[in-house]
Structure 1
Amino acid sequence: MSHWFSYPNIDPIAFRIGPVAVHWYGLSYLFGFICVFLWMNRPAGRRRLGLTSDQIQDFLVYALVGVLVGGRTGFLIADWITKHNFADYAAHPLKFIAIWEGGMAFHGALVGVILAILLFLRKHPGLTFGILGDEVVPLLSIGIFTTRLVNFINDELPGKLCNPDHPYCVTFPAYPDGPRYPSQIFEAILDILTLPVILLVYRSRPPDGVVAWTWFTIYGITRSVAEIWREPGFTVLGLDGGQFVAVVQIFIGIAMIAYSYRRGVRTTTRMENAPA
């Protein structure tokens, strides 16, 4: 059976600057943060946020720390649950922070960013979670899309074993036990399809928080679907770990969308530091 494509064997290192290796993984994160900054820093975004460009950059530092700490912590917890390998980490403490080897959990990063938002809001009275969240999420799908492509490049997070007769199956070098679903590609496609939906919701100018919680809900749906093909790490109530969290995410998102509409508050311009 001929397959549509084979694993491309792309070097995880994009380029080197002297002794420093720059990985595609890091570039995908950088690209995502640039997209978020450009959206938030446009004049309409700054007016709604009531923040200067420097303050938006300050927020992104908070968000970056949240992503790194939350994402790594989530990965470590999942790794310990599935592999029971805490002793290995204790024997090699550098592994706790070895994000250059991969190993970031999306939902851990999401929790980290939410905590970062709450901390940032304490410095800016009057700026609400709904307003800030609405301006963070519109282009977030682009960064997630590129990161899933890098997961494929890095030969990580493979899908389940699949029927070799399926032309879209791939044999991953690190998993030579048979063809697997390219679940990273499937998830990347689902993520990028979220983009036009969120932009349409944003253009409708809904109450504060609706855009953010709509993205939150849709990601829960797409992640639940993507988990059908992903290799499960551990199960909870008959669902694999990622799918269980995604289902919970859907219910939270729907409840918060309803709450945001019920409040009915729409902020167009927040006066503090609003640019002319």
Structure 2
Amino acid sequence: MATASAAIHQPLSWTDLHLSPIALDLGFFTIKWYSLAYLAGILLGYWHLTKMLKQPGAPMAQRHADDLFFYATLGIILGGRLGYAVFYAPELLTHPQNLVKLWEGGMSFHGGLIGTVIAIAWVSWQGRLKFLRVCDYIAPCVPFGLFFGRCANFVNGELWGRVTDSGVPWAMVFPGAGPMPRHPSQLYEAVLEGIVLGTVLLLLFWKTRARWRTGLIVGVFTLGYAISRFTVEFFREPDAQLQDFAHRSGLSMGQWLTLPMMAIGLGLIIRALTRPPESVSVKAMPA
């Protein structure tokens, strides 16, 4: 009986899943799942944005979406890498030649978010568009990339969770993380930031009149992501170089970075709900 009980509570092993970070290996050229995750998130987001722009009252034309596709991609990559260097690995700033080594990993969502906001601001300024309304249309597209990105983290066997009791059915032993079972926090993030948040935003856009209240959808995204990330960080192992920081400050770097997001998101929601909605007679902008 004791043997059977021990077998039942034996933690899962990531290596038993036979996962590989490499999606395609041609010998002279390899494609990693992480790269495909970024590509899938960007392309699916662009496709969905195109569908959204066909609805009445769109704040921009298809040509603006095309420009955003280019600049936001740059913002995600450059901002994500620089954000990782600033927030998580300052030593990269003293060795800038290592910044371009994206294949070695190291991207920050908060940095990518800043890069994307700058891209939206640039396109909005160039096209004389309403910045917040454009953000409302971009926000529902972001969870696609978040979902694929966190799934890629799991496939890579990186960014694992904290040690947990082996009685947790989904506890998992990750390579390089020692013999103790851990939370698969990458999947927690994929569910909360990707599926749950994405579903809420899609329902707000397609099933309610939220898109007529400037700043409401992007406010829900900002607050929703911040709450999701803050929660998951309790189950996620802090980066090795920031464990002492987390111990001294009481919160991980990821949690500290979500606090201003919570304030901004809540402020945008209150602003949107206390102001009159956009006129429903607004016509779609010509392509």
Pairwise same-fold verdict (TM > 0.5): yes
Superposed, 1:60-209 pairs within 5 Å as 60-80=69-89, 85-86=91-92, 90=95, 93-125=96-128, 127-191=129-193, 192-202=195-205, 203-206=207-210, 207-209=213-215
| Worse overlay, 198-207 or 12-21 | 12-21
Q: CA deviation at 1:76?
A: 1.1
| Residue 54 (structure 2) aligns with | 44
| Residue 258 (structure 1) aligns with | 270
| Worse overlay, 180-189 or 38-47 | 38-47
CA distance, structure 2, for counterparts of residue 101 and residue 246 of structure 1? 25
- AA in 2 matched with 1:157: L
- How many equivalent residue pairs? 267
Residue 65 and residue 77 in structure 1: after superposition, are their counterparts in 2 closer, same or farther (change >3 A)?
same
C-alpha contact 2:24 2:32 (8 A) present in aligned 1 = yes
- AA in 1 matched with 2:218: A
| Residue 222 (structure 1) aligns with | 228
Residue 154 and residue 188 in structure 1: after superposition, are their counterparts in 2 closer, same or farther (change >3 A)?
same
TM-score by length of 2: 0.84
Residue 17 and residue 56 in structure 1: after superposition, are their counterparts in 2 closer, same or farther (change >3 A)?
farther
Residue 116 and residue 139 in structure 1: after superposition, are their counterparts in 2 closer, same or farther (change >3 A)?
closer
Unmatched tracts of structure 2, length 5 or more:
1-5
Which portions of structure 1, spanning 4 or more consecutive aligned residues, are displaced by more than 4 angstroms?
267-273
Match among 22, 29, 40 for residue 13 of structure 1:
22
C-alpha contact 2:79 2:113 (8 A) present in aligned 1 = yes
2:255 matches 1:243: yes
Aligned-residue RMSD, C-alpha: 2.3
Match among 13, 36, 40 for residue 31 of structure 1:
40
Residue 24 and residue 269 in structure 1: after superposition, are their counterparts in 2 closer, same or farther (change >3 A)?
farther
Instruction: Provide Cα deviations, 1:118-154, integer angstroms capped at 9, x if missing partner.
Output: 11111111x1122211111213212211110110111
SS of the residue 1:15 aligns to: strand
CA distance, structure 1, for counterparts of residue 154 and residue 38 of structure 2? 15
SS of the residue 2:181 aligns to: strand
TM-score by length of 1: 0.88
C-alpha contact 1:129 1:209 (8 A) present in aligned 2 = no
CA distance, structure 2, for counterparts of residue 210 and residue 39 of structure 1? 19
SS of the residue 1:22 aligns to: strand
Identity level (%): 29
SS of the residue 2:89 aligns to: helix
| Worse overlay, 181-190 or 4-13 | 4-13
Kindly indicate which of the two structures has a greater share of residues assigned to strand: 1
Residue 51 and residue 14 in structure 1: after superposition, are their counterparts in 2 closer, same or farther (change >3 A)?
same
Unmatched tracts of structure 1, length 5 or more:
none
Residue 55 and residue 3 in structure 1: after superposition, are their counterparts in 2 closer, same or farther (change >3 A)?
farther
Q: CA deviation at 1:171?
A: 0.9
- AA in 1 matched with 2:208: S
Q: CA deviation at 1:19?
A: 2.5
Q: CA deviation at 1:165?
A: 3.1
